[in-house]
Chain A
Amino acid sequence: MTTIPISWYLAVAAVLFTIGTVTVFVKRNAIVMLLGIELMLNAANLTAVTFSSYFRELGGQILVFFVMVVAAAEAAVGLAIIILLFRHRETLNVDEAQLLKL
């Protein structure tokens, strides 16, 4: 059975992380920026799982578990904030939401 080099997985993770970063920088829509953050988290998870399976250690996969829990909490609170922002400002543009006070 053929095996896959570790660099292939790491390259895919690097590409995904870069696309996520560019999404956060380029887009002005708050929801799409959160989607970009999710993309970056997934790329980091892929790297952790790759090294975990390469070194045959479970620590990386435990880390990914915790990252997923934090991502779930972040999505819940972030989307609540976005709904609140939209209720008060009628927009999702992060450039128009410059004040902390709603």
Chain B
Amino acid sequence: MERALFLIFALTAVVAALNVLLRRHPLHSALALLVVLGAITGLYVLLGAYFLAMIQVVIYAGAILVLFLFVIMLLNLRAEEARLERRPLFRWLAVPFALLLGAETFYLVRTFKENPIPSGTSVGLTEAVGRELFTTYLLPFEVTSLLILIALLGAVVLARRG
């Protein structure tokens, strides 16, 4: 059961990621990325990281990707999307990457074959993550608020100068 769920989520993620790469229109790529994020959410649930699964849906699928879709629709790209593909030389870069990926996967499967992830042990409950965030990682957590503020100001300054 668990393995079947894993296979479904993994295959969905990989096929949708290939769609991100192969689609010509940016809108289709963004929607395919949405499917990838959903499948990864399923993998997080299988891994017991429930808080991160929730955050993934809320922040990634709910905020970041909607921002992408909004920008794509705002710019209204129609005439130029076809001619952005002319770079045949770079396509051959995929070959060394594929070889590297094959070697990496082979190494992983050989090294970690007998190491199953213990199921049913959830360390990623919201209370545990929150307690860790507000004790051990309090300073980085506060610094992220500063980072978000700076990003917000930067976006506003960039947008109003035009």
Contact = CB atoms under 8 A, between A and B. Distances in A.
Interface string A45-65: 110011011101110011011
Interface in B75-108: 75, 77, 80-81, 84-87, 90-91, 93-94, 97-98, 100-101, 104-105, 108
Contacts, number: 244
B144 A69 contact: yes
Contacts of A75: 64, 67-68
A32 B39 CA distance: 20
Interface string A35-49: 110110010011001
A80 B155 CA distance: 6
Contacts of B101: 14-15, 18
Interface residues on A, range: 35 or more
A18 B100 contact: yes
Contacts of B14: 12, 15-16, 19
A76 B116 CA distance: 38
Interface residues of B, number: 89
Interface of A: 1-12, 14-16, 18-23, 25-29, 31-32, 34-36, 38-39, 42, 45-46, 49-50, 52-54, 56-58, 61-62, 64-66, 68-77, 79-84, 86-88, 91-93
Interface of B: 1-3, 6, 10, 13-14, 17-18, 20-21, 26, 29-30, 33, 36-37, 40, 43-44, 46-49, 51-52, 55-56, 59-60, 63-64, 67-68, 71-72, 74-75, 77, 80-81, 84-87, 90-91, 93-94, 97-98, 100-101, 104-105, 108-109, 111-121, 123-124, 128-129, 132-133, 136-137, 140, 144, 147-148, 150-152, 154-155, 158-159, 161-162
Given A9-B43, A58-B129, A72-B59, 6 more contacts: A1-B119, A3-B117, A4-B6, A6-B117, A12-B10, A53-B121
21 contacts: A1-B120, A2-B119, A4-B3, A10-B108, A10-B112, A26-B87, A27-B84, A31-B26, A31-B30, A36-B20, A39-B36, A49-B52, A56-B123, A58-B123, A58-B128, A61-B51, A61-B123, A62-B136, A65-B133, A72-B59, A77-B158
